[in-house]
C-alpha cells in the first residue's frame, strides 16, 4: 500500500491522461466483449450443417416459351434427358432451392377438423419426386423415400396418396422421440397426408429463419404447372463445370424454345446468403483489433509522456538506489491500477450493453467469459505497451537528476 500511494499521487497531479485512458479501457471492454460475442454467434450460424452435399448439388431453371408446348410432358422428357446424361448421379424437379433466400413455407395440422386439430410447426415446403433425397445427398434415417410412379402433378391431383418426408428436427418438434412414420397430417382439407420418411437434416431457403431446420418434402412434381421449371442435380465436383454446358446443349437440342439459366451450387447459395453475416463478423473483427491497438497506443503514449515529465524524478530514484526493475514496476503498477478500475466498470457496462442488444436484436445473453477474456487480453496488450517504453525509463542514469544542479 505504501508503494501505491506515491504512484496515485503522481497520477493525480496530471489527471487528464489517466482519466482518458480509463474511459478508453471501459469502452473497449464493453464494445470488444459484445463484438466478440456477436462474432461467435455469427460464426455458429454460418457453420450450421445443412444436411446437403453442398458442393456436389447444383440447381438451374428453365423457362419454356412455346405457346403450344405440353409443359407436363416437357418436364417428364427433360427429367429423362437429365437422368441419362453421363456423370449425373441424380436429377430431381423442385419448387424451391435450399439456402437460396426464396422458397415456400406452410404448416400442417394433425386432424381433418380445423376446429380441433393441433398445428404442426411451420416448415420449408419442398415439392419433388423420389430422387430429391439423393439429388441433395440427404441422409435417410427412418422410413423410405417416395416410390417411383407414385408422384402427383398438382395439389388437386388425387391419383395417388399424398406422402411426405420430414427433417428430423421437424419430426421431433411435434412428436418428440416417438416415430412419425405412418402418422397422418392434413393441409387445410380432409385429404390425409402420410409421413413415410425422415431425413437427418434438411434446411430451408432462409438462413435467418428461426424455423430453418424444419423442412418437408411432398410427392408432387410441380414443374409443368407454369413455363418455369427448376431442377436439382447431383454430380462429382470436378464434373460440374462441364456438366453445365452438357445440360444446356442437351436440353436445347431437344427443345430450342427455352432459356436455361442459373447453375449455382448449394455451396454458392450458402456463401451468398450468409454474406451479410460474414461481413458483420469481418467488420466487428476489424473494430476489435482497432480498439486494442488504440488502447495499446494510448497506454504507451501516456508512459512516454510520463517518462519525459518525470525524468529527473526517475533519475533521483535511481540515485537513491532504485533498481531498473523497481522503475519498471512503477509504470506497470500505474497501468494495472487504471486497468483494474476500468475492468470493474467496463464489465458492468458490457453486461448492460449486452442486455440492450439482447432486447433489440433478439441475441442471447452475453456470456461472462467474453468480458473476462477481454480483460485478460487487455492485460496482455497494455503490459506489452507499457514495458517497451518503460524499459527506456529504467535505463535513465542517476546523473540525470543532478544534471541541472
Q: Based on the domain organization, do 329 and 219 belong to the same domain? A: no
Domain final residue pick, 224, 256, 288: 256
H/E stretch holding 20 reads helix 16-46
φ and ψ at 160, to 5 degrees?
-135, 170
Question: 10 Å Cβ neighbour count for 301?
Answer: 14
pTM of the predicted model, to two decimals?
A: 0.82
Among 256, 288, 316, the domain-final residue is 256
Asked whether residue 54 is domain-assigned, the answer is no
Do residues 39 and 108 share a domain?
no
Residues 344, 216, single domain; the answer is no
Summarised one tens digit per residue, pLDDT across range 123-145 is: 999 999 999 999 999 999 999 99
The 10s digit of each residue's pLDDT in 188-199 is 777 899 999 999
Please, are residues 147 and 192 in contact by the beta-carbon 8 Å criterion? no
Q: How many domains does the chain have?
A: 2
**Rounded distance, CA 223 to CA 232, Å?**
12
Judge whether residue 405 has pLDDT over 80.
Answer: no
Torsion sign (Cα): 191, 196, 198, 203: negative
Whether residue 23 sits in one domain with residue 171? no
Q: pLDDT by residue (tens digit) across 229-281?
A: 999 999 999 999 999 999 999 999 999 999 999 899 999 999 999 999 999 99
Name the residue among 60, 74, 52, 50 with its Cα closest to residue 233. 60
Cross-strand bridge partners of residue 261? 61
Indicate whether 183 and 229 sit together in one domain: yes
pLDDT of residue 1: 41
Per 3-state DSSP, the chain is made up of helix, strand and coil in percentages (nearest 5) of: 50, 15, 35
* Residue-number span of the structural domain to which 179 is assigned: 66-256
In a 13 Å sphere around the CA of 204, the CA atoms on its Cβ side amount to 24
Q: Name the domain boundary from 192, 221, 256.
A: 256
117 shares its domain with 209: yes
Predicted confidence band of residue 176 (pLDDT cuts 50, 70, 90): very high
Tell me how far apart the alpha carbons of residues 303 and 329 are, in angstroms, rounded to a whole number. 12
Q: Indicate whether 288 belongs to any domain.
A: yes
pLDDT (tens digit per residue) in 67-108: 888 999 999 999 999 999 999 999 999 999 999 999 999 999
- Bridge-based pairing of strands 105-106 and 123-127 is antiparallel
Say if 372 falls within a structural domain. yes
pLDDT at 2: 42
Average pLDDT over residues 329-346: 83
Which pLDDT score is estimated for 399? 59
From CA 267, how far away is CA 46, in angstroms rounded? 12
Amino acid at each position: 500500500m505504501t508503494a501505491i500511494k506515491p504512484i496515485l499521487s503522481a497520477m493525480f497531479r496530471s489527471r487528464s491522461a489517466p482519466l482518458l485512458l480509463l474511459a478508453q479501457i471501459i469502452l473497449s471492454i464493453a464494445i470488444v466483449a459484445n463484438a466478440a460475442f456477436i462474432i461467435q454467434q455469427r460464426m455458429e450460424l454460418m457453420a450450421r450443417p445443412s444436411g446437403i452435399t453442398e458442393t456436389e448439388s447444383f440447381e438451374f431453371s428453365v423457362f419454356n416459351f412455346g405457346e403450344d408446348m405440353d409443359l407436363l410432358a416437357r418436364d417428364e422428357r427433360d427429367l429423362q434427358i437429365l437422368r441419362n446424361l453421363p456423370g449425373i448421379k441424380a436429377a430431381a424437379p423442385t419448387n424451391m432451392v435450399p439456402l437460396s433466400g426464396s422458397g415456400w413455407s406452410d404448416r400442417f395440422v394433425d386432424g381433418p377438423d380445423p376446429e380441433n386439430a393441433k398445428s404442426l410447426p411451420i416448415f420449408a415446403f419442398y415439392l419433388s419426386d423420389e430422387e430429391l433425397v439423393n439429388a441433395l445427398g440427404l441422409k435417410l434415417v427412418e422410413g423410405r423415400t417416395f416410390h417411383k410412379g407414385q408422384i402427383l402433378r398438382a395439389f388437386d391431383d388425387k391419383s395417388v396418396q399424398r406422402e411426405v418426408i420430414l427433417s428430423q428436427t421437424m419430426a421431433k418438434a411435434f412428436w418428440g422421440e416417438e416415430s412419425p412414420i405412418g402418422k397422418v397430417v392434413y393441409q387445410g382439407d380432409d385429404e390425409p397426408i402420410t409421413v413415410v420418411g425422415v431425413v437427418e437434416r434438411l434446411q430451408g431457403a432462409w438462413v435467418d429463419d428461426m424455423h430453418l431446420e424444419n423442412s418437408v418434402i411432398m410427392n408432387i412434381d410441380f414443374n409443368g404447372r407454369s413455363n418455369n421449371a427448376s431442377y436439382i442435380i447431383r454430380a462429382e465436383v470436378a464434373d460440374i463445370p462441364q456438366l453445365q454446358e452438357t445440360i444446356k446443349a442437351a436440353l436445347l437440342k431437344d427443345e430450342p424454345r427455352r432459356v436455361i439459366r442459373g447453375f449455382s451450387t448449394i455451396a454458392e447459395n450458402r456463401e451468398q446468403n450468409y454474406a451479410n453475416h460474414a461481413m458483420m463478423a469481418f467488420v466487428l473483427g476489424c473494430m476489435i483489433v482497432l480498439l486494442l491497438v488504440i488502447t495499446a497506443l494510448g497506454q504507451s503514449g501516456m508512459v512516454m509522456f510520463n517518462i519525459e515529465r518525470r525524468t529527473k524524478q526517475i533519475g533521483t530514484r535511481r540515485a537513491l538506489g532504485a533498481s531498473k526493475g523497481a522503475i519498471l514496476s512503477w509504470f506497470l503498477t500505474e497501468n494495472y491500477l487504471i486497468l483494474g478500475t476500468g475492468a470493474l466498470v467496463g464489465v458492468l457496462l458490457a453486461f448492460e450493453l449486452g442486455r440492450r442488444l439482447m432486447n433489440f436484436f433478439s441475441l442471447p445473453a452475453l456470456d461472462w467469459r467474453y468480458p473476462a477474456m477481454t480483460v485478460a487480453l487487455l492485460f496482455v496488450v497494455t503490459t506489452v505497451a507499457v514495458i517497451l517504453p518503460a524499459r527506456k525509463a529504467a535505463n535513465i542514469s542517476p546523473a540525470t537528476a543532478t544534471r541541472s544542479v
